[in-house]
A and B are shown apart, each in its own frame.
Chain A
Amino acid sequence: MRYFLIVYDRSQGRRRELTEFSEGQRAHALEERARRERDALEQPELEVVLLAAESRADLERTHGRYFKSVEELAAAR
């Protein structure tokens, strides 16, 4: 598994950051996500999500909204 830490701006419907962690970095990715979540406590518009996937392509398929606009989501099908 690889890990993808995403900071998503809900007020804009746009991804702000994407950090990738490798197979052996699950614990580090979880710690980093918790830290970023605490930092964003006063910014409710920010969603700090950590997703696990075999590949980025898998993630784009199952969590497309972090990668595509609604129009692109619909057009991709």
Chain B
Amino acid sequence: MPVVRRSMSISQIRRLGDRLRHAAQPSVEDLELLQRLRLEYDAPLQIVERTLRDELQMHATSRLKTVQTIIEKLVRERTRLSSMEDIAGARIVEEMTLAEQDERVARIVAAFPSARLRDRRAMPSHGYRAVHVIAFVGDFPVEIQVRTHLQDLWAQSTEALAVLWGRQIQYGEPPERAGDGIVGADDPFGPTRREVIDLLRSLSATIAEVEAIGQPDATEMVGLRRVLERFVRVFRRTV
């Protein structure tokens, strides 16, 4: 694997991260520095894309994080810019069992020997479940997310609601105007935003139970379908 090095020193990157974290509005110079730093992750990301596609025959999509979400993460989590692991990321979503997910993850880890594993199925992050492999290409980490369809359904629905009701819902906090009824609801006694988020979190637990079964039987699938139908019914009136 080719050696890929950063052009900025760790301390230069830390100082940039500190300025971005504390600025009410980032300066044009710092924004350009951040864009230049992010661009350096593109070569490592391409190496990961090629490895996943050509060596492992996996269908992945990829992206470099937006400057806006990098800055939001610096402010929210106190993470140092120099140690942020998801500036470059790839995502694999497939219809698969947990055992098949484990098998794909093992093949990815074998392809990137210094990789680290974050299993958010064992320790969900406020309902979020997936497996993340952090591959290292030279100086650069690249996060590879491996999700089943159901894990992805949950994650993308939460992301879509986070856009509308505040990103803090992804980190266990209540939505903005938590007591408001959901937009467009025709029933004045319909669920509030807080109740929708509670429903979403219970859906994550239900998905985890069904996935743990491996090959769920008809009764278990009826249970999941009921929760999903309620989910769809509520969300039909949400956006």
Contacts and interface: CB of A to CB of B under 8 A. Distances in A.
B35 A37 contact: yes
A75 B93 contact: no
A19 interface: no
Interface string A53-77: 1100011011111000111011101
A54 to B, nearest CB: 7
B157 A30 contact: no
Contact of B153 (A1, A37, A73): A73
Interface residues of B, number: 42
Interface string B14-43: 000000000001101001100100010010
A41 B60 CA distance: 30
B232 A71 contact: yes
A70 B150 contact: no
Contacts, number: 97
A62 B93 contact: yes
B64 interface: yes
Contact of B157 (A26, A34, A74): A74
A30 B42 contact: yes
Given A30-B39, A62-B152, A49 B31 contact: no
Contacts of B31: 37-38, 41
B192 interface: no
A77 B63 contact: no
Interface stretch (B160-168, B170-178, B211-219): B160-168
6 contacts: A62-B92, A63-B63, A64-B152, A70-B157, A73-B153, A74-B232
Nearest to A9: B163
B68 interface: yes
A46 B5 CA distance: 32
B235 A74 contact: yes
B176 to A, nearest CB: 12
- From A48, A73, A74, residue with most partner B Cβ within 10 Å: A74
Interface in A1-51: 1, 8, 10, 13, 26, 30, 34, 37-38, 41, 44, 47-51
